[in-house]
Structure 1
Amino acid sequence: MNQRTLLMLGGAAILTIAAALILKPNNTTPPPAGSAELAFPNLAQRLQGAARIEVTRNADGVVVQRMGETWVLPERGNYPARPDRVRELLTGLTELRLTEPRTANPELLDRLGVNDPTQPGSTAALVRVLNAQGAPIAQLVVGRRRVRTQGNVPEAAFIRRAGENQAWLAEGRLPIDGDAGLWLDRGIAAIPRDRVLRVAIRRTDAPVLELARAGEVDAPLRVTNPAETPPLDETSLDEIGRAFESLTFVEVTADTVAHGTDIGEARFTLTDNLTLVARISRDGEAIWARFAAEGDDEATRLNARWRGWAFQIGQWKEKAFVPLLADLRRAEEPPAEAPAAAPLEEAPTAATPDLPAADAPAPAPAAPR
């Protein structure tokens, strides 16, 4: 083994040892859970002035802005963000504890995933909480998470406070999502079908279509206008009654944004003095809806959530809100094929039994000439 080979092996061994020291805990016994130093002491009090949250990871990023008592997403037309997601992140920052110091060498930070988030290929996430004047209240780079190998072990991740080179293993839960869609509460309504009494559907390209329950509340919806209809599919009729049941959206924008062409309106009359109106439009293959409610306190609560927004809903919901009569038609069953005729069996041919030679008839005598 020559000297060059020995040097190469020695260098590899040094790098391996260095990586182990960085990624594995040191020999210092970690402090008991809940007793380590807080990453941001006295943060809870300062967060009362928080006005903006920024989460950036590579090309993804989300901004959550405070408007009065509500946190909203500016890139979604100031649609409200999920309060639980905001609360989890801010609470996580206040409870984050520094349990073990790791490397402070800038050249090794990428091994823990806490290098500069703007560097190409970086997997780090930058979290910033700002006040109304734009000054930072807390800034944190979040890297790789520690994998749990046993139960009852708190969540942990490698972190680095912005402006510092020192990396830490920190305990605490930090829900870091750079996708704005994950901050949205996508629920629109959850109104059971048995509350729907009548539905009036007016499409721009078809006659009025009306449905109602005959008698009891749990009776199925039936088409009442037109009076004469082809055989209808029960499942398709039931989907109209379920239009507001577990209704969610794909995307949301301000109601002032135009979305294609209006294709119709549906008016749902429900129990408890509630009426729901859905205005449906189509933009390419996307279906958009605007909703309004009429009635008492329940209508007021629904309008507070719906007013001012346009919701992109699933394409299949077009047939629940503004179906054509043809959409409700029962699929015709293919005619039953006649069973194939059984092949005719040939009648058995009577065979002359073979006679013994002694019993064979004598040949007829030849005619005289």
Structure 2
Amino acid sequence: MRARSVGTLVVLGVLAVLGGWYFGTPLTPGEQTTVARGKLMFPNLAPKLGDVARIEITHQGQQTVIEKRPDGGWGVASMHNYPVQEAKLRGMLTGLTELRLAEPRTSDPAAFSRLGVDDPNGTSSSADLLRLVDASDKPVAALIVGHRRVRSQADVPEEVYVRRPGENQSWLAEGSLPVDADASLWLDRNVMNISHDRIASVVVGDQALTFARQDGKFALTLPADHPKLEDYKVDDVARGLELLTFQEVKADADAPGSDAGHSVFTTDDGLAVKVTVLHAGRDVWARFAASSASDKTKAEADRMNGRLAGWSYEIGSWKEKSLVPSMADLKVEEPAKPSSPGSVTPSSSAPGASAVGAGNAGSGNAGSGTASPGTPDAGGK
């Protein structure tokens, strides 16, 4: 063999040995034949997804379980199977079926934490164990998901470090695999979205306030004799069920609070939504129940009740004024009364002003509490 060829082989051999510094030692021949590069990590997973009954995500020993509901949807087990975000779940499962192995990485357990593929039960681990199991508790797929690889170039696929449970070989895989171990991040926080222009009437309490359409405009119709109202506040009542989301959800039996008011929103096509508001300290909770006065909206009402029945939602406190408004919430705020010309405040008093105030005590000016011009109103925001 020529000296040049021998030299080339020596150089290549040295590079191969030195290459082991990058996230671990080289692969053994047996490990190399386990999975071919560029192949799907789970080539037969897609047709098996229909058999999956439970999804488990373990992080630092804590487990989030997503289970199939009787209605065919998916819910978070620790939240009484409250529905998850279907698009998010679909994205994770699709990402798992499309995951391709790009490059083998370390097979040294001491280096797993650098890739985030160490034991997901460790108290300081950043790894997530994703498991799919069927109704008989038989595993369908399992994967330890580690750090995402940051790519600065545009138009390049996402990459993530992964490892199969029970195997020492780790991989850099091509694809997006969004795994969240926080149960609250899976909840579908949309309660309902009924457009304001669809609302025909709102009755608050036992007809304490009644809103309806008048000349194409949403207005307070009862009581007929009422103070001047802010138009935008009345319009907010019509928008009470529009893009409504929650901050926290609990089963009715576990929800805190006491009844603080109710209302009924009715659409122009016969759908009625009853709202019950509850107070728990400073927190505002709400329950919803739908009914229908026409066949046109019966299916919609049934669908809403199937989702909302049995649940209490913590909503933003500002929503209370649009769901169960009072007259005080709606009326135009009167401008602050100007201070009387002869009033004096301590901040603007000259030396001796206190004596003057004392001398005027008989006139009724002292202690009047009237603010000087420019002084913020104590009740202002």
Task: Specify the TM-score bucket, using the shorter chain as the normaliser.
Answer: 0.7 to 0.9
Alpha-carbon distance in structure 2 between the residues aligned to 1:61 and 1:155: 26
Cα distance, 1:307 vs. partner?
2.1
Cα distance, 1:333 vs. partner?
1.1
| Aligned pairs for 1:258-297 within 5 A | 258-295=255-292, 296-297=297-298
1:238 aligns to 2:235 (yes or no)? yes
Give SS of 2:205's match: strand
| Aligned pairs for 1:125-144 within 5 A | 125-144=128-147
Alpha-carbon distance in structure 2 between the residues aligned to 1:61 and 1:165: 23
1:90 alignment partner, one of 93, 106, 109: 93
Cα distance, 1:293 vs. partner?
1.8
CA change 1:282–1:19 in 2 (3 A) is farther
CA change 1:23–1:280 in 2 (3 A) is farther
CA change 1:239–1:19 in 2 (3 A) is farther
Residue in 1 that maps onto 2:305: 303
Alpha-carbon distance in structure 2 between the residues aligned to 1:25 and 1:232: 76
Cα distance, 1:20 vs. partner?
5.2
Structure 1: gaps of 5 or more residues: 1-16, 27-33, 340-369
CA change 1:235–1:23 in 2 (3 A) is farther
8 Å Cα contact 1:221-1:241 kept in structure 2: no
Alpha-carbon distance in structure 2 between the residues aligned to 1:129 and 1:229: 61
1:255 alignment partner, one of 215, 232, 252: 252
Give SS of 1:256's match: helix
**RMSD over aligned Cα atoms:** 2.7
Letter in 2 for 1:230: P
Letter in 2 for 1:65: E
8 Å Cα contact 1:60-1:179 kept in structure 2: no
Cα distance, 1:246 vs. partner?
0.9
Alpha-carbon distance in structure 1 between the residues aligned to 2:73 and 2:197: 34
Report % sequence identity.
44
Alpha-carbon distance in structure 2 between the residues aligned to 1:25 and 1:144: 20
Alpha-carbon distance in structure 2 between the residues aligned to 1:24 and 1:330: 74
8 Å Cα contact 2:20-2:26 kept in structure 1: no
Cα distance, 1:256 vs. partner?
3.3
TM-score normalised by the chain length of structure 1: 0.77
Alpha-carbon distance in structure 1 between the residues aligned to 2:63 and 2:319: 31
Residue in 1 that maps onto 2:22: 21
CA change 1:237–1:59 in 2 (3 A) is farther
Letter in 1 for 2:248: E
Alpha-carbon distance in structure 1 between the residues aligned to 2:258 and 2:168: 55
Cα distance, 1:71 vs. partner?
1.4
TM-score normalised by the chain length of structure 2: 0.75
Alpha-carbon distance in structure 2 between the residues aligned to 1:23 and 1:335: 77
1:188 alignment partner, one of 186, 191, 194: 191
Cα distance, 1:103 vs. partner?
0.8
Cα distance, 1:238 vs. partner?
1.5
Alpha-carbon distance in structure 1 between the residues aligned to 2:265 and 2:123: 53
Letter in 2 for 1:209: L
Residue in 2 that maps onto 1:349: none
1:165 aligns to 2:162 (yes or no)? no
Letter in 1 for 2:307: R
Aligned residues: 311
